Amino acid sequence: MHRLVGLPNPRLAQAFIDYMASRGIHIQMMSEPEGVFALWLADSQHLVEVEAELTAFLANPGAKRYSAASWEVAESRTAKFNYQSPSLLKMVKMQAGPFSLAIMVVVIAIYALWLLGFELPIFSWAHFPTMHGDQWELWRYFSHALIHFSTLHIVFNCLWWWILGGQIEQHSGSGKLLQIFLFSALISGFAQFWLHGPNFGGLSGVVYALMGYVWWLGWLAPERGLTIPKPYVAFMLAWLVIGFAEPFGMSIANMAHLFGLVSGCALGFIDAKRPPLKASS
């Protein structure tokens, strides 16, 4: 299944479902946090057609053809506003893609080893290069994002990675998510290292990049259908500011957060200015 978009109004979402049903294409609606109703395409072979129709629908949802379709399929619709609540495992798989799931598995596995007493070998292998001979160990510029130092740290990062990374991968593909991961891990890592040294780790910088990417792309090119709820943005920005005060004595990689956000916004700005890629037939 392919996640198409999240809409705040279930009746609006149902109107599009009915319209596509009149064209023989099945779309499913599922409720998500913050009052969002996600549309999922059952058969990805129709993705190009559905995305084109969705763009037209969002531009003018009050068009007569949509209300006419709702009347047409009203009698045959068996589940009126019946929003499924899938199992946790199914929901995780549906929201994410292969790359976002793979990163979550790797991150959790590394943290499990960390808890089993392998902190020193893990950090020695994965930390950002100290620039004393290990700068040629290229994996270090990215592997620092995979290590976490507490349960709260990994839960927070994996949750946002799943929400934002999964959304990007479902919308734009694994290649785009990989690009954002590598670019933001590199930029946020350098920023944190040059100001505070190599003793840091975690997906936080990448997570802020994901937020910045979706935020700016949704702001500058809303027709692309990739958006983030405003409360998410407000929370992440507030936490970014609070982090500089290091509450409760917490050691926070603030430069990684800040420059991760900047790198994601920059990629979002660039992609918003580019014409959307056309899928090859």
Q: Are 70 and 60 in contact (CB under 8 A)?
A: no
- Of 39, 56, 85, the one marking the end of a domain is 85
Residue 278 lies in a domain: no
Residue 280 lies in a domain: no
Could you tell me if 36 and 115 lie in one domain?
A: no
- Cβ-Cβ contacts under 8 Å for 158 (sequence gap 6 or more): 104, 107, 108, 203
State which residues form the domain around 253.
89-273
Could you tell me if 41 and 141 lie in one domain?
A: no
φ/ψ of 41, rounded to 5, equals -90, 125
Could you tell me if 121 and 260 lie in one domain?
A: yes
Could you tell me if 103 and 227 lie in one domain?
A: yes
Residue 201 maps to which CATH number? 1.20.1540.10
Number of domains comprising the chain: 2
Mean pLDDT across 49-75: 80
Which is catalytic among the residues 46, 127, 153, 257? 257
Could you tell me if 167 and 260 lie in one domain?
A: yes
Per-chain mean pLDDT for the chain? 86
Beta bridge partners of 7: 37
Which is catalytic among the residues 70, 184, 204, 263? 204
Q: Are 57 and 23 in contact (CB under 8 A)?
A: no
pLDDT tens across 136-173, in order? 999 999 999 999 999 999 999 999 999 999 999 988 99
Confidence of residue 275 (pLDDT cuts 50, 70, 90): confident
The yes-or-no answer on residue 257 being catalytic is yes
Could you tell me if 78 and 97 lie in one domain?
A: no
Q: Is the pLDDT of residue 280 over 50?
A: no
Residue 22 lies in a domain: yes
Could you tell me if 170 and 197 lie in one domain?
A: yes
Confidence of residue 279 (pLDDT cuts 50, 70, 90): very low
Beta bridge partners of 36: 32
Residue 62 maps to which CATH number? 3.30.70.2350
Residue 52 lies in a domain: yes
Could you tell me if 78 and 24 lie in one domain?
A: yes
pLDDT for 161 equals 95
Torsion of CA 26, 27, 30, 35, to 10 degrees: -150
The yes-or-no answer on residue 251 being catalytic is no
- Of 85, 108, 139, the one marking the end of a domain is 85
Q: Which whole-number Å values give the CA distances from 232 to 49, 152, 244, 261, in the listed order? A: 30, 18, 19, 14
pLDDT for 252 equals 86
Most confident range, picked from 14-28, 74-88, 190-204: 190-204
Mean pLDDT across 12-39: 83
Q: Is the pLDDT of residue 32 over 80?
A: no
Could you tell me if 101 and 207 lie in one domain?
A: yes
- Of 85, 106, 129, the one marking the end of a domain is 85
- Dump the DSSP string for 100-126: HHHHHHHHHHHHHHHHTT-HHHHHHHH
Residue 127 lies in a domain: yes
pLDDT for 60 equals 86
Could you tell me if 48 and 119 lie in one domain?
A: no
pLDDT for 39 equals 87
Q: Is the pLDDT of residue 31 over 50?
A: yes
pLDDT for 90 equals 63
